[in-house]
Amino acid sequence: MIVVMKRNAAPEQKQRVYREIRQAGLRYQAIEGVERTVIGVIGTRSDTARVQLEVLPGVEKVIPILKPYKLASRELKKADTIIAVNGVRIGGDQIIVAAGPCSVESEESLLAVANSAKESGAALLRGGAFKPRTSPYSFQGYGEAALKYLARAREVTGLPVVTEVMDTKDIPLVAEYADILQVGTRNMSNFSLLKELGKQPKPVLLKRGRASTVSELLMSAEYVLSGGNMNVILCERGIRTFENGTRNTLDLSAIPALKDTTHLPVFVDPSHGTGRREYVEAMSKAAVAAGADGLLVEVHHNPERALSDGEQSLHPEEFARLMQNLQRIAEAVNRTI
């Protein structure tokens, strides 16, 4: 932790800072610069967190030095984390594509999508049972019935199921049916939910909050990891910016940034990331080229009748074509799909 004093800080103001540091059981080293004094506080992050030096008179600002996440950091664990789910290895050489409808609407339509997605090369089945919707008057998902359809589709296709859980009280129910529990963008900072997910064994797919930095995404992962669940998949899905031609701004530079700082697998959701079906292929290719370990793609048999997000869902034949094109990109970066 670095304390920058004001240009005109008085000697007794500096003494006060030194005293507070010592009283917190920490050491310090002062650097007298040309214009101002800078004080390095020496200690672990949790130790230095015990003092709030920015409020002392004469202090201009306090700059943290240590990274706030530990278990998620590649500094502590160099090797990529690989998460095995019913024979699917996430985070390895194979790029894992999860496909399926935004909302699960019926067993029949889900089976049709799941079968064709599998045939096209999808490795996971995605689909929403509990849907977070901006409006209370919008369709909120079929809940447990949808979970049952998903389990049935897994039985038929063998594809492991990823689906969202929105509330601590629903975790046991969702975990009963799903193979991977998804935390949506609106819940990335729902710390109660993250804590509970840290206590159960199923892998967690954690979507980046639309107003959250890459560093905050890692802190949210840290909530799950520090609870004891080491199987977290991170997912870039677009952040909120002033650009309104796309639903969100898909931040693909988060891929190299995350691969650099964490050992956890990194997925990308080009469907929510752009909100437009016609941009999904370009962004899927870009994500794979940039080093993503997997994709989350919305596929629907009849987008024009979808109960949610039809405008960003691919037709199954579009998805088949996408998978073919992705294969070439995967090879160009020495991976399979």
Write out the binding residues for a copy of itself, residues 239-268 only, by CB under 8 A: 239-246, 249-257, 260
- Among 104, 122, 219, 323, indicate the residue that binds a copy of itself (CB under 8 A): 219
The token duo for 121 is: 């090369």
**Of residues 184-203, which lie at the interface with a copy of itself (CB under 8 A)?**
186-187, 189-193, 195
Least Å distance, CB 300 to a copy of itself, is: 9
For residue 134, what are the contacts with CB-CB under 8 A and spacing of at least 6? none
Gap between the Cα atoms of 21 and 16, Å rounded? 9
Q: Which of residues 124-153 bind a copy of itself (CB under 8 A)?
A: 132-138, 140
Q: Is 102 helix (H, G, I), strand (E, B) or coil?
A: coil
In angstroms, rounded to a whole number, what is the distance separating the alpha carbons of residues 256 and 316? 30
Which of 97, 123, 124, 287 forms a contact with a copy of itself (CB under 8 A)?
Answer: 287
When binding is defined by CB under 8 A, the residue of 303, 316, 322, 323 that contacts a copy of itself is 303
User: β-pairing, 37-42 with 83-85?
Assistant: unpaired
How many CA atoms are closer than 13 Å to the CA of 290, on its beta-carbon side? 24
Residue 12 engages a copy of itself in binding (rule: CB under 8 A): no
247-276 burial, b at 16+ Cβ within 10 Å, e below that, comes to bbbbbbebbebbbebbbbbbbbbbbbbbbe
Q: What's the CA gap between 95 and 288, in Å, rounded?
A: 8
- Residue 15 in the binding site for a copy of itself (CB under 8 A): no
- Over the window 150 to 169, marking each residue x when it contacts a copy of itself by CB under 8 A and - when it does not, the resulting string is ----------------xxxx
> Is 10 near a copy of itself (CB under 8 A)?
no
Residues in the interface with a copy of itself (CB under 8 A) total 110
Does 80 engage in binding with a copy of itself (CB under 8 A)? no
- Which of 10, 19, 25, 33 binds a copy of itself (CB under 8 A)? It is 33
